Structure 1
Amino acid sequence: MALKMEQKNDFEFIMKSLLAGGVAGMCAKTAVAPLDRIKILLQAQSVHYKHHGVFGGLMAIVKQESLIALYKGNGAQMVRIFPYAATQFTSFEIYKKYLNGLSIPMIQHGDKFVAGAGAGVTAVTLTYPLDTIRARLAFQVTGEHRYTGISHAAVTIFKTEGGMRALYRGFVPTLVGMVPYAGFSFYCFESLKYFCMKYMPTTLCRKCERNTGGLVLTVPGKLLCGGLAGAVAQSVSYPLDVTRRRMQLATMDPATAKFGVGMVQTLTHIYRDNGVMKGLYRGMTVNYLRAIPMVATSFSTYELMKQLLNLDTGMKVS
């Protein structure tokens, strides 16, 4: 009986965590969808927008295409982001719980980083083809459409570019970049949350509504911790994000076909052609503008959903 109850509680925890994570991901990505699209266009140096800056590019999209074009590819993004974020946040909770029960000196102080990195790798492995499709749809310019929608893009890429391998183009740099990105995101957020609860319990925290004696972050506290975590994570992993995009979009333009090769070769091509700031870190300005509020919204929504679903009992800090 006790085992069945424990299994039921575990199943309920996983289902609620999946829901909380999925909703958090959808809210975060929709909030920054226009910045996401201009980031992709700048990263891959679209001939239509590569001479524009962030705000100039957004204005140009509205002028040349339409206001709704700012959200091009967001439908595919929602299809991808719900299972991605749901898997990532739930995996993090499971890995964190598992690692807390181990006594391994090497990860004693880095268990949140390891759990976050593992969660990111798990999520991206399961949902990567949808990210490739979303990038292709977002890169299209009105009047020059190659794909009519998500399913058409998936079938076309699969049939004409080499099957599943084409849908996973750019996967290696994504996987390599995901370890520091997801690892630092979760590690920084959890560390900052602990810092706020220990040193600013009356400023950025409040008592948990379930009367457990624990503390939870206020909304400003959640946003602050999430934003700082996103800034750190993006700074470390951004060049690999650029590499991934160039590989994903290589076949969209004959002039960029050389970027369809391996990760190291693509990194080398980007560096030789455009250097560090205009190549490997191209679009970083828009990335900060989108990543900081995106990660802040993601963590904040997830923490709020956990409280609404009675998953968060608050943290006790000694």
Structure 2
Amino acid sequence: MNLAKEFAAAGPGCAVANGLLNCFETTKVKLQLHNHAKPVYDTPTTRGVMMQIAREEGIVRGLMTPGLSASLTRSMLYGSYRVGLYSTTKEWLSGDGKDNLSHRMLSGMFTGGLGSMISCPLDVVRTRMQADAGVVRNGKYVTGLKKGDAVRYRGMISAFLTIFKEEGLKKGLYRGASVTVLRASLLNGAQLASYDTLKRSLNWNEGPALHFFCGFASGVIAQTAVMPVDTIKSQMMLGSGWKDVFATLRSNGPFYLYRGLAPACAGQGLIMVLQMPLIEEFRRLLGIKAI
């Protein structure tokens, strides 16, 4: 029964936070995939891309809603596993209930990897919908990264069916799954372990102030650690292979792997600021102890 409550607290908390801050995820994907040889955005910085998208496509349509349906569905599923199983896994690993940093890291990595493996197709769909997003006229994009191209997907279900039909399961919906699972394992391990450890290190009373501070700090720490894998994941989900990744790395240098770090850290930090207090409050209402 406790496990069901853990899932019920985690899923909605993750979905609300990710949905409200979808604009940062959209901007991050656009920046990661921006081709400097054929520039679409006049100023390829976080502020520049967001301002141009807002001007050309509108704040809601251009920044807040691309891939939102897939993002919310993924958050409910992925969040339930990555956070909902964390405490149970941590207790099982420690045995006597006296967990340490390695127990927290391993628990977060396991639950994050498991959740990602299950929700990978939704991640592919979300990334492609965000990358494709733009104003459409006569069946073609007139703004965005796909400017001049015909519209591929009409929505989340359309994207699922089209990708499965044209590319199959392994090379389509699970494209880049190894990188995606690795990214989720590292991100979740770093995020939940740092959140958990920071809470124990600070002599603050359990409550919103503690949850807000530890949530933001853990989000920035985790995103910085996982950014190189995150960039590779986005490129592979759009159809690139390892040869393309290495070619891009050779031509752009190692800092290419940290392209989009600012919106990614802002998004992840703010997501955690919303997500962790919400999850902690849902846990309290359901009678479960805080993480």
Q: Same fold (TM over 0.5)?
A: yes
* Normalised-by-shorter TM-score class: 0.7 to 0.9
Amino acid aligned to 1:88: R
Aligned-partner Cα distance in 1 for 2:245–2:269: 25
Aligned-partner Cα distance in 2 for 1:109–1:150: 39
Larger radius of gyration: 1
Paired position in structure 2 for 1:125: 117
Aligned-partner Cα distance in 2 for 1:191–1:266: 38
Paired position in structure 2 for 1:113: 105
Aligned-partner Cα distance in 2 for 1:240–1:181: 10
Residue-pair matches, total:
272
Within the candidate set 1, 12, 15, 1:26 is matched to 15
Cα 1:266–1:176, aligned 2, differ >3 Å: closer, same or farther?
farther
Q: How far apart are residue 92 of structure 1 and its match?
A: 0.9
Q: How far apart are residue 91 of structure 1 and its match?
A: 1.7
Deviates more, 1:132-141 or 1:160-169: 160-169
Paired position in structure 2 for 1:270: 248
8 Å Cα contact 2:27-2:46 kept in structure 1: yes
Q: Does 1:73 align with 2:67?
A: yes
Within the candidate set 300, 303, 311, 2:277 is matched to 300
Deviations 1:66-102 (A, max 9, x none): 2222121111110111011011112212211211216
**Helix, strand or coil: the match of 2:287?**
coil
Q: How far apart are residue 188 of structure 1 and its match?
A: 0.6
Q: How far apart are residue 304 of structure 1 and its match?
A: 1.2
Q: How far apart are residue 239 of structure 1 and its match?
A: 0.4
Aligned-partner Cα distance in 1 for 2:183–2:30: 20
Deviates more, 1:122-131 or 1:221-230: 221-230
Aligned-partner Cα distance in 1 for 2:264–2:187: 13
**Helix, strand or coil: the match of 2:85?**
helix
Paired position in structure 2 for 1:142: 135
8 Å Cα contact 2:104-2:193 kept in structure 1: yes
Deviations 1:283-318 (A, max 9, x none): 111111111111222222111111111112x69xxx
The root-mean-square deviation of aligned C-alpha atoms, in Å, is 2.0
Aligned-partner Cα distance in 2 for 1:245–1:137: 12
The normalised TM-score by structure 2 is 0.87
Q: Does 1:175 align with 2:181?
A: yes
* Residue ranges of structure 2 left out of the alignment (5+ in a row): 142-150
Q: Does 1:287 align with 2:264?
A: yes
* Residue ranges of structure 1 left out of the alignment (5+ in a row): 1-11, 206-216, 251-259
Paired position in structure 2 for 1:3: none
Aligned-partner Cα distance in 1 for 2:79–2:244: 28
Q: How far apart are residue 195 of structure 1 and its match?
A: 1.0
Q: Share of identical aligned residues, percent?
A: 24
The normalised TM-score by structure 1 is 0.80
Amino acid aligned to 1:180: L
Q: How does 1:1-318 map to 2 (within 5 A)?
A: 12-45=1-34, 47-49=39-41, 51-69=43-61, 70-71=63-64, 72-101=66-95, 109-140=101-132, 141-143=134-136, 144=141, 145-196=151-202, 200=203, 204-205=204-205, 217-250=206-239, 260-262=240-242, 265-277=243-255, 279-312=256-289
8 Å Cα contact 1:243-1:266 kept in structure 2: no
